[in-house]
Chain A
């Protein structure tokens, strides 16, 4: 059974970078991408469009971009922490900037990890390895 990762990201390229990095550095990790915060919440809540859990499974790890359309990453995080059945699920915030106030807000809302996106998209592999070490070490390819 694969490790499921839900990535809420409006930057299509960043999602592609992560997908490439996962494919390159891991085995058995399924990535699902949604383009905005509203869809992320809908997916996690299993709303009508996402009710089919075989197709839209509850993720083992949730990655949230900070600046998401419709509902921001912090709003989605806050919702997750109060949602029944999701409270303890690991959530990682990804941001383009390392602004301290954002980091503190994420920690206050209960983010498990706050990561700054690398300058170059191809370096997202470092993010994948960081996530892998903490949540899916057995899925990392040996380098």
Chain B
């Protein structure tokens, strides 16, 4: 999925990187991202202890029907910060040198305070608002972290690897904390779990002070970044990921309610969560192997199909084992989907570094989770029906992706590939004439890629144009952009006749541009 890691300036030893599930500095792609590791570990440990503490809370003592209006209210309030505040304060945070670092500190510090307060409120009605504040702050952390990582990664091609290592560190730390949490629960009770979680969150907030500042004056064109982030590939991947997140939110509440109503013990409900975490951890290893066989968009379809099929089978006979299987499938699918999603963003938005671009995507994903959870609480469907809903929703999304892919493939086959590169090159030169050099280079790269599809340009030549174009865009180098445009023009206009259309010779655009704009 990713090329071999280039040595970064932070890698003093040119020898091979040590293989570790935690990842080393060189594997993570720079010391800037490695500062996030302990923060991620402390966040995950705190989350594990917080989740475990709910076993000893009112959630399992009061009836679901009586608590439903309150859960609905707070889930709806959970949406507010993401739906209303994020779009308003996102650009502001982006402009601050320590904006995203401040978000992480606020999230961890806030949870530290609320967790300690909650320790004395587990059996009072304050449980609901305080627990949901922790949920909101945890989601804010995820959005902030995922928005921060791209700006800290030295080499963009390492984005998927860095995100994978973050996920692994989170899973290992969370599972370790959960095991330790069982001992605390046995001897100290749920309040001490929360006090410990509060301490871990506080340590996380302190660690977050070490995150280096990001450069708010990024030179990448807003147009390029926006064009890349709104491309069809990213849009399609985002909708698939949103579907998976929605399914996760729905399954969490549906399975939790169903198991409680079936009289299953709290440890089993906790076990379902642990299974999902383990499956997610396994997914970080499965995804790279899967990527060697299929592309990221297909991986996303597989990630949707897997839990859809397991939910469909589970609906035939709802049982505690079924719920474990469904949560494992969702954990694995979610993890594979996440790696594929990161891969799509890395490939299709190579210039996007602004936190707000990522924050927008992540906010949509978190909102999808909340919507899924709301659906589960509102519907309060019979156990088997909830799984049918998961099967139908995820299955429909997967089938629509397959159908779109098939249609696009057929349309692509019908397009006259011999003229497409020329038309794209004409567009690139028109864009260049209008003054947007970076956008022009992007379109020129697309023209060369189309020429490669038509068989008139080799993949090495495409790589060369990409290298020149991206390098020039990254460094804001007008001469480099001119060079990339000239090379693209030459390849598109002087390429060999298309072997699939032997009768058609490529057209001509006249003389190559001397200079852009």
Q: Do A and B come from one complex?
A: no
Residues of A participating in the B interface, judged by any CB pair closer than 8 Å: none
